Structure 1
Amino acid sequence: MIPDHKITEIYFIIDEFFKEFDNIIREHSLQDAKTKKRDRKFTMSHSEVMTILLLFHSASFKNLKSFYVFYVQKHMQKDFPQTVSYNRFVELQPKVCVPLAIFVKMMCLGRCTGISFIDSTPIRSCHIKREKQHKTFKDIAQKGQCSLGWFYGFKLHLIINDRGEILDFILTPGNVDDREPLKCMDLHKRIFGKLFGDKGYIGKDLFEQLFVDGVHLITKLRKNMKNALMLLHDRIMLRKRALIETVNDELKNICQIEHTRHRSFDNFIINLLSALAAYSFFDKKPSINLKNDIVDENKVMAA
């Protein structure tokens, strides 16, 4: 059950965002005086549609239809008194796609604290054995490989801080190297300080490029590489890199960013963006206590 105060909080923030968004669009839109356009209001506002999408990713339902039909329309009538049919609700979703993307980038990202973690997680479109038969993401999704084996779909590249807040993200096809978003897509433009990643981010050129931009990339060494001196604090923080794995797990198992029931690319993007937005409203996110954790690790190493 979603608390009433949480529903009110999410709806208020989204509604205030849409008021500002609509004003900006109205001021900068080119209008032809000769052509008249109908400005008919929908039964459900864009704020209500986006709120329901975020609430779905905060609940324990596995699919949107069950959540909308059996929970929203039956148990949330006081919050959404005028609901439309599920088919009509699906038709209204693409209308909030662009505002949702802007909302995530402007309202849902955290602030860099100087300590950041980076990782990529596969977003599977279908089982790897059905990649040749898959048509929804044909020529968009690609075959890639991760630590769990081969997959067909996309990669979600995430950067988080030590509080578990998402700092930035990029979606790429599954065959894109993990280092490419840092090299060519400016994934690191919102961060500074130290960035901790796995061995997949090892690269001399990448290290030098990030260092010039004010980011110190720290990774573990491969077995065939020469050993290098590392600060004790950096060694401890590398052990805490599992924090971003926990965030990926919550995004997949709680926010439902990965499933194979998509029927269009727009549906896939809306599902992903609304899941990331819903995660930002979580009261309790995975985090690390820098002072206590470092002291405990120092005691263990000293012993």
Structure 2
Amino acid sequence: MSDAVERAVDGGALSVDGVTLSAGAHRLVRDVSLTARPGEVVGLVGPNGSGKSSLLRAVYRVLRPDTGHVRVDGADVWRLPVRTLARTLAAVVQEPVADFDLTVREVVAMGRTAHKGLFDGDTAQDARLIASALASVDAASLADRSFDRLSGGERQRVLIARALVQQPSLLVLDEPTNHLDIRHQLDVLGILRRLPAAVLVALHDLNLAAYYCDRLYVLRGGEVVATGPPAEVITAELLREVYEVAGEVVVHPRTGAPHVTFLPGETEPRRAVTARGDGPVP
């Protein structure tokens, strides 16, 4: 494990309790509860518009819940001082990133800000952590390049490195594999698996979610309709009821994880899903 992701994390347990979010008259998320413990990767999956990004915005304190609470180690994130929150939680989000007139190394160094005084410069330890984080996402060769000259995938890897050097006890990521080629998707998700932090990640790819996540929460229409280990959650019935597609789910002979094969051209009619426990309603 690289120095940037190796840390004796104190705490980081996430608890989302009965969170409801609205935008005007539109309900984005309804009465959602979930947990993520240190050393655990918890995945959010579901169709577009199911509420995954909205829920994550409540966790990293962009959308204030109408009702319910988001707590880290029992403390309401909306009551934590900004600096304390920045030392606890790091987020990699989907919102467009400003074109920084900075080098890649300088962008990643921004992740160390929460650990410094107002006039503190970079230390030898900072430099080591920055170099290690860049290496872990295969971006060491980009260190002296201008951030605004990078491709979408390169930018994504740099932003993940910035989150790593923040050394959070809770890491929240919204589709972190977007723009990444297959190799870098596997590299990044492998890093998440090795973190001592609690990790909450939204993913579209069910096969990646099945392999890299310890537990899944399935959202549809802003509600949790299934939760549990991937082997219990990812079923042909779930594909039909939540994603409205036909597919087969088998245990992969090499990985032991559920593996989804979609059946092109076959769709399924929408059915009501009301499950709130450890699996979808058949």
TM-score range, shorter chain: under 0.3
Q: Which one has the largest radius of gyration?
A: 1
More strand by share: 2
Higher relative contact order (CA 8 A, sep 6+): 2
